[in-house]
Amino acid sequence: MHLGFIGFGAMGCPMAEHLLHAGHSLSVWSRRPESAAAMIAQGALWRSSPRDVAQHAAIVLTNVTGSADVEGLAFGPQGLVEGFARGGLHVDFSTIAPSAARRIAARYAAHDIDFVDAPVSGGTDGARSATLAIMWGGKSALATRLQPVFEALGKTIVRVGEAGAGQVAKACNQMVMVAAIEATAEAARLAAASGVDFTRVRTAMLGGSAASRVLDVFGGRMAVRGWVPGVEARLHHKDYALLMDEATRIGAPLPVSAVVWQQLNALMGLGWGQNDSSSLLRVLETCTKMEAAR
């Protein structure tokens, strides 16, 4: 298929490469043209605007930062909506607010264009290995059309429901994952405060009922104090802002998530947003030092 792709960050670049390697052709655009240079070197075609991308692709894929970015690409000056033919399809891999996904889908529907929110989980490692979990929301009739795209990128592909449902699933994923990172950080802090080597504690836990991917990956980074990001903590902070806003809007109590949200706020305040979220351990350590200094 001839596809469009916009958004060449740490996740977008390997995802676009997999689509090229699967035999699809790509039309690309970026606010910073140099971001797309690697794709162009591999055969992608540069287009002058989002509208131009949509004019040359039946399906356009985007992977950007937030709700406003997606809406700007879709409906801003020279936006995708101006280039799509009737029956066009915009698939967005970004993590945005469920309400924004529903709003975008409704605006597109007025032009006979489909929108699918398809946030992904698995981080940069999953993007590079094409093993992402893709949770998507949109019309069930689109599944066959989407299958060759999703299969080039992910291992677990689940249609959750109508537009916006993919973002609800991603919010739930982030709630559980980051809460587990915080719990792992607290376990590491308890072990250290007790004079016990967390590396050994973690090894023991990985053989027990607390074993998890979070304990393995993020706990491993805590054990060696490696803060180089798999996913930058600022992105988890952004995701939590979205889900807490949504919870407030619909009146869903999220007491554990509220505490984790405050820890992420503290992490950002300490200037570690571009580090890995395993830095939640350093937040706890900083609190301990502040208490000791009183």
Residue positions annotated with a catalytic role: 170
Helix, strand, coil share of the chain (percent; to 5):
55, 15, 30
The beta-carbon contacts of 198-205 under 8 Å, at least 24 apart in sequence, are 198/222, 198/223, 199/223
Q: Residue length, the chain?
A: 294
Cβ(277)–Cβ(233) under 8 Å? yes
The residues pairing with 29 across neighbouring beta strands, listed in sequence order, are 6
Beta strands in 164-212 (DSSP E): none
Token digits of residue 68: 């406003």
| 27-30 LR contacts (CB < 8 Å, sep 24+) | 27/2, 27/3, 27/52, 27/53, 27/56, 27/57, 28/4, 28/53, 29/4, 29/53, 30/6
DSSP 50-100: HHHHHHT-SEEEE--SSHHHHHHHHHSTT-HHHHPPTT-EEEE-S---HHH
CB 171 within 8 A of CB 242: yes
